[in-house]
Structure 1
Amino acid sequence: MPIRLPANISSRQIPVVAGALLTLATAGAFAEGYPKAVQQLEDRGAEIVGEFDAPGGMKGYVGEMQGRPMSAFLTADGKHVIIGTLLAEDGTNISQEQVEKLLMEPRFAEAWSKLEDSDWVGDGSDEAEVVLYTFTDPNCPYCYRFREMADPWIESGKVQLRHILVGILKEDSAPKAATILAADDPESALRQHHENYEDGGIEVDRSVVSQTYNDVMANGELMSSLGLQATPSTFYRNAEGKIAMKPGVPNPKDLETMMGGPRP
């Protein structure tokens, strides 16, 4: 997650740390397990998932605090820990690189199999070279916009967009999602909904909602378990084959990256 630093910080300073400095004196530099200063973070609710060698003789740690990614740095004396973002003098965001490597990449790789096993609706050719999973609320205007932007790749057969339908925005979001999932041809129902989105989308069929309502709820639980709060949130493989996630409507450059190439 990008962090804006004060404009008065000079790039000539020693790698900058933006965040809170916890002065945590300890009786011994290194106890069993993590150093005592780092254990203070755990005592405050942090979950450490990995560590790395940081500049200046420091040791870096990556984890989560209150559901948010965090990085922390143990000073060379082993007695103090700094929470925040570490920048090199050339502008490299050392914290972000390590958060992505140690926290986000493993999490997204694990998430991919869960997405595959979820109740999704295919949008595009089953033979498409590129597959994306996107959490979609039937009433989400940004989901509608994203689908419009992706249309050239989908229609060309290059991309299949797999919609994991959730109901989080309006009272009829879940019933609409359940109606689509319960249709004899969910893909056609989804297209019908999209084509009529500006007129309210698909009409809820109360006679079938109960058949798939629990599936919609399960999709919502999956979304929450991945720490996502808004639609669309889209998972894809980047050029290196690693799983990445893009929240919201992508800009044109990001869209080409997600779709695996330029607009057909």
Structure 2
Amino acid sequence: MGLAHLRGALALVAGLALLGATGGTALAADQSATDNPATDKLPGVLQKAVKSGQVDVIKSFPTDVPGLTGYVLEQSGQHQVVYGNHGYLVVGRIVGPDGTNMSDQYEQKYVPKPDLGKIVDQLKDGDRLVQQGPDDAPVVYVFADPNCIYCHRFYEQAEPLVKAGKIQLQWAMVGFLKDSSPGRAAAILSAKNPVKALLENENGFDESTEQGGIKPATDISDDLQQQLKAHAKLMAEAGGSGTPTLIYKEDGQWQSKIGAPGTDWLKTHVVNDKP
């Protein structure tokens, strides 16, 4: 997934950088995690972000690095782990002396896991999904922008499985990558035949300019605008930092994945045609 396709995702790093460095005392590392730590105990830059409503700090926790405290931030349903020490804010990975990615371990332990089953139920209730494939095939929910080249590649990867009746795609359209994205998404969702409109967009996709093939709608109803926002919110809650974000069921459990993983991956993890 290219950098251009992270637009609209959680922008905590940029937001915090705009605040500028300020003084403050880092929360001393104790022996246990703390939910919703007191704002005045946070590094100064986080204090400003919380007070201005940019982010919430939902948890602090001690790390294995002396004096370094971890913080779990939440914004629009997404989470990020940052670190504080003596008033400084550290954004990035913590790697141990043996090469262990400690940040991954902290994220696994302290970052809340999304309730993907609940997100799927909310998608179904929204009644604005575009279905490809038969009702009885394994389903993948796909958050997609009509101008997303990686969504287009996923479409191409999944197409032979859809035609063979081995997979069902439920497209949840969003629109944030380009100025024409909301209009194209609305054109698909408001069409008399949304599946046909989706195919028009993908089969006419211009990879050189990364533009979908359908003509954008010029008048987007309030209902459609709210639906696009709802899909974007659910994508964020599912942990999606870009498009396509996939929700699928494997071994009876809902899972999520970002990007276009390829036809073979879909066969193994969704169709369960394991080698």
TM-score, normalising length: structure 1: 0.62
Which amino acid letter does the alignment assign opposite residue 142 of structure 2? T
Distance in 1 (alpha carbons) for counterparts of 2:36 and 2:184 = 49
Separation (CA, whole Å) in 2 of partners of 1:26 and 1:163? 44
Q: Which residue of 2 aligns with 1:233?
A: 245
After TM superposition, the structure 1 = structure 2 runs for residues 154-165 of structure 1, keeping only pairs within 5 Å, are: 154-165=162-173
- Please state if 1:139 is matched with 2:147: yes
- Unaligned ranges ≥5, structure 2: 1-20, 50-54
TM-superposed CA distance for 1:128, in Å, is 1.4
Which residues of structure 1 form unaligned runs of 5+? 1-19
Give yes or no for the alignment of 1:148 onto 2:148: no
Q: 1:101 to 1:259 in 2, by over 3 A?
A: farther
Among 43, 46, 64, which residue is 2:47 paired with? 43
- Superposed, which structure 2 residues align to 1:80-229 within 5 Å? 83=90, 85-103=93-111, 105-106=113-114, 108=116, 110-118=118-126, 119-129=128-138, 131-198=139-206, 201-203=213-215, 213-225=221-233, 226-227=235-236
Alpha-carbon distance in 1 for matches of 2:274, 2:157: 10
Q: What residue number does 2:9 align with? A: none
Change (3 A) 1:113 1:190: same
Q: 2:257 aligns with which of 225, 245, 252?
A: 245
- Check whether the contact 1:51–1:59 (CA below 8 A) recurs between aligned residues: no
Specify the code of the residue in structure 2 equivalent to 1:43.
Q
Q: For each residue in 1:91-128, what CA deviation from the matched residue of structure 2 results, as whole angstroms up to 9, or x when unmatched?
A: 44332233245435236555433333332111111111
Taking only the aligned residue pairs, the percentage that are identical comes to: 27
**Contact 1:174–1:216 (CA<8 Å) still a contact in 2?**
no
Q: What is the distance in 1 between the residues matched to 2:177 and 2:74?
A: 27
Residue 70 of structure 1 aligns with an amino acid whose one-letter code is: V
Bigger relative contact order (CA 8 A; separation at least 6): 2
Aligned residues: 232
Cα distance in 1 between the residues matched to 2:160 and 2:95: 40
Task: Tell me which amino acid in the other structure corresponds to 2:25.
Answer: L
Deviations 1:190-240 (A, max 9, x none): 234333435963456x6xx75x74344224323543545643232334557
Q: 1: distance between equivalents of 2:174 and 2:190?
A: 14
Q: For residues 86 and 141 of structure 1, what CA distance do their matches in structure 2 show?
A: 32
What's the offset of the Cα at 1:148?
0.2
Q: Where do 1:10-49 residues align within 5 Å? A: 24=25, 39-41=41-43, 43-45=47-49, 47-49=56-58
Aligned alpha-carbon RMSD (Å): 4.6
Residues 106 and 194 of structure 1, relative CA distance in 2, 3 Å threshold: closer
Q: CA deviation at 1:89?
A: 5.0
Larger Rg: 1
- The question of whether the paired residues in 1 share the 8 Å contact of 2:130 and 2:171 is answered with yes
Matching residue within 242, 246, 270 for 1:259: 270
Q: Is the 8 A contact 2:62 2:69 kept in 1?
A: yes
Q: Which amino acid is the alignment partner of residue 213 of structure 2?
A: G
Kindly provide the amino acid, as one letter, of the partner of residue 144 in structure 1. Answer: H
